[in-house]
Structure 1
Amino acid sequence: MGIVNVAIDSLGGVLADQWKDIVTAGHFDEHVVVASGVRKVGQNGRGGNYGSNDVLSNGSLIFVPENTAAFIFSQAGIEQVITEPGGFEYRDGEASVFDDRDRGEQGVLKMVLGQAARRVGYAGMSPSQKRVAFVNLREIRGIKFGTRGPLAYNDLFYGADLEVFAYGQLSLQVVDAERFIRNFLPANTYNYSLDDPHARSMLIAEFLASLIVATNALSSEVRISQLPSHVNEIRHMILDEGDNAGTWQDRFGIKLVQVAIENIEFSDDSRELIKSYAKKKLDVSAYEGVSKQAADVAAQQMIAEGVRENGFGAAGGMVLGMGLAGMLNPRNASVESDAGADCVPDTTESKGAPGGGAESARALEDQIEAVKKFKELLDAGILTQEEFDAKKREILGL
């Protein structure tokens, strides 16, 4: 009775599988890479009869949407690849009584009984099992990545290895569907999404390894805070790399299309290091500014003191000394040409001078000698204090 039941089941299965199928791609969300083919079983309440899910009859139609590739799998692997969009008639499946070519070549009765007889030996199952799957050829965007531990970045600006956490998104695209199916997709898998952490863990691990290499290649020129503005350079470096993510296209038929670094966070130790560096730099700049100003004032005071001690008296010498100090470079006591131009009166001798420190120095010596002579007249009682002060202002241009 068992064989009889199997024979009856086989005949019923053959008759059910005579229907030609209409197969198209299933639902693709943003991160689906492979989706099983879906058999259309009804339209406006009609067409409810259908056979086995893994049997394709001759004359069945396979509709391939744009930006997808259709794969027909048999027990041995990939049987056929369809990369052009449109509708295609399948010819390598089970013979169908509804197919004109099959009926003409085999006849209806011979075809049905022959298929049923073959199935009896397989307990009613068809030995010719076929599956259809579709590969997404669009750019798959929004694949998030983030470092589990800190990445080392040798920042030459700070002169230290900094630890950072990087976060962002990348996008991928299958550019060689057959290579992707053969080398990347797990065996006997007809649905595959990069939302599954296990599915993309290897890709993210290799990408982060390439990211470290690419970012550190920029460390001699780019401060770590400027990395987000150099993502295109980073992407090209990753693609040109001979390891990890740079080999995806040759190994898996996958191309890295875009990288977006959204955020870079310093580890606690690196953050403290940068704060300490910035504070020390600010302290050094402030100290240098204060030191320069203090040194200039001290030098001018020394020059003024020297002039006063050379015969000008306390009050007049200090006035002349400070005026002279303003004309001299406090670093080397040379005459500053700009200052001298402001302080030296417009005499006939200075107007025609071709310029330079020597001419200015001679004019200053003449002024000092003139003031000394008038000081002697003051000491002798020939000039009053008011007359001496007026002459001194005239000579010095005060």
Structure 2
Amino acid sequence: MGLIQAAKGAIGGMLADQWLDFFTVPGGLPPTAALFAAVPQGTNAGRGSNTKGSSNIITNGSRIVVPEGYGLLLMQDGAITAFVAEAGAYEWRSDDLQSQSIFSGGGLFDALIRQSWERFKFGGQPGAQQAAFFVSMKELPDNRFGTQSEIYWDDGYLNAQVGALTRGSYTLQIVDPIRFVKSFVPASYLQPGQVFDFTDMDNAAASQLFNEVVSSLAPAFSLYTNDPGKGNRITRIQQDSIGFAQSLSDAVERAYRWQSDRGLVIVKTAIVSIEYDANTRELLKTVQRADALAGARGNSNLQASVAAGMQAAGENAGPGGIMGMGIAAGSMGGLAGLQQPVAPAPAVAPAAAATPAADDPIARLTRAKQMLDAGLITQADYDAVKAKALGL
């Protein structure tokens, strides 16, 4: 009372010649099609038991071919009577005690599908007439998302609330076809000629998923940027399609239970653009400057900056330029041998130069780093100056 596996993995060629009457996936489907009715292929030619050839309606003796990447659902009066997730050829028999109702395929889908089968399986004896539908079990591409206004989240790396506009796309996979059909697909799509497509904006169920993804973007960004394993960097999201997809999938699962209630998961993402708001852009610039002055990279940058300043002083100060460099080097403790007596500079010059430098956090940090290297201040003093200069 169900399906008999006639030839596992045998999908075309000789099998098609032997079974001139069989049902399979319709041709010309878009790659985003998720659910659709089976269609008869070929003619009966007097060989099979199904002489009516009704669209997607199989009867005792009908043959069905299941291609790779698709699952077969048989339904009667809204109830699922059989399911196949293994590619191959099958024959429907309502009078064979050896027939089965489920071929789960093992691997990724086995546990989920068997669990759902036990929950939703047909309670009575299947009749002699069944409606056949195929469900795509591949990654379904081109599911898009985008925000019309900024989304905001608390960012652990920047230690502030940040905002951005973003758009991109993701791939979707049906990991539990039984739960997907029973719990999510509208009845209007369980008809011959209908195609359930996630990218069809006239599909109200698909539009609901779009809205739920957009609502989950801020929590997804927060999950990603506050995860130490991801390096806490919002600038890495665009380079990590798998990592951000996991954060987005976790966010929609927490809020809307996609996998638990609908048998759906987000597999990969592609972020086309992220446009941060003005405050976030300023924060990123400040942190990048702080990174440039930190650790070994900071010492290298500082030395290059001081060397460039000395060169500029030597070129612009005339005959006294080298003596000016001696004083600068002596204050750092690194070039004390270059110190020489120097005529006092005009009183107005230092004041004019100090005014803009006092407002420049880079200048303040540079001076503080010079004093730290010269042993004039402690590391704690330098950290305090750095925090104040960067507004942290």
Q: What's the TM-score once normalised by structure 2's chain length?
A: 0.52
Partner Cα distance (1:330, 1:87) in 2: 84
Partner Cα distance (1:40, 1:277) in 2: 60
Tell me what 2:206 maps to: 200
Partner Cα distance (2:94, 2:38) in 1: 17
Q: Which residue of 67, 73, 84 maps to 2:86?
A: 84
**Do 1:158 and 1:274's aligned partners in 2 also have CA atoms closer than 8 Å?**
no
For residues 219-255 of structure 1, give each alpha carbon's deviation from its aligned partner in whole angstroms, at most 9, with x where no partner exists. 5665655431244332233344584478322222222
Tell me what 1:339 maps to: 336
Tell me what 2:216 maps to: 210
CA 1:325–1:70: 2 relative to 1, 3 Å: closer
Matching of residue 254 in structure 1 with residue 264 in structure 2: yes
CA 1:164–1:36: 2 relative to 1, 3 Å: same
Q: CA deviation at 1:152?
A: 1.5
Q: CA deviation at 1:52?
A: 4.1
Q: CA deviation at 1:276?
A: 11
Partner Cα distance (2:322, 2:135) in 1: 88
CA 1:218–1:55: 2 relative to 1, 3 Å: closer
Q: What is the correspondence of 1:1-398 to structure 2 with a 5 Å cutoff?
A: 22-27=22-27, 28-40=29-41, 42=43, 50-53=52-55, 55-92=57-94, 129-154=129-154, 161-190=161-190, 191-197=195-201, 198-219=204-225, 222=232, 224-241=234-251, 243-244=253-254, 247-266=257-276, 270-271=277-278, 274=281, 338-340=335-337
Amino acid at match of 2:39: V
Across the two proteins, how many residue pairs are aligned to each other?
Answer: 255
Identity %: 25
Q: CA deviation at 1:179?
A: 1.6
CA 1:215–1:52: 2 relative to 1, 3 Å: closer
**Do 1:225 and 1:264's aligned partners in 2 also have CA atoms closer than 8 Å?**
no
Q: CA deviation at 1:217?
A: 3.9
Q: What's the TM-score once normalised by structure 1's chain length?
A: 0.51
CA 1:324–1:82: 2 relative to 1, 3 Å: closer
SS in 2 for 1:56: strand
CA 1:21–1:244: 2 relative to 1, 3 Å: farther
Q: CA deviation at 1:173?
A: 1.1
Partner Cα distance (2:185, 2:237) in 1: 34
The higher radius of gyration belongs to: 1
For residues 283-316 of structure 1, give each alpha carbon's deviation from its aligned partner in whole angstroms, at most 9, with x where no partner exists. xx9xxx99xx9xxx9xxxxxxxxxxxxxxxxxxx
Partner Cα distance (2:210, 2:246) in 1: 17
Partner Cα distance (1:84, 1:66) in 2: 7
Amino acid at match of 2:212: E
Q: CA deviation at 1:156?
A: 6.8
Q: RMSD of aligned C-alpha atoms?
A: 4.6
Q: CA deviation at 1:340?
A: 3.0
**Do 1:240 and 1:246's aligned partners in 2 also have CA atoms closer than 8 Å?**
no
CA 1:142–1:67: 2 relative to 1, 3 Å: same
**Do 2:37 and 2:56's aligned partners in 1 also have CA atoms closer than 8 Å?**
no
For residues 186-219 of structure 1, give each alpha carbon's deviation from its aligned partner in whole angstroms, at most 9, with x where no partner exists. 2252331112222322222222333211212455
Where does the alignment leave 5 or more consecutive residues of structure 1 unmatched? 1-19, 94-126, 298-318, 345-398
CA 1:53–1:30: 2 relative to 1, 3 Å: closer
Amino acid at match of 1:228: Q
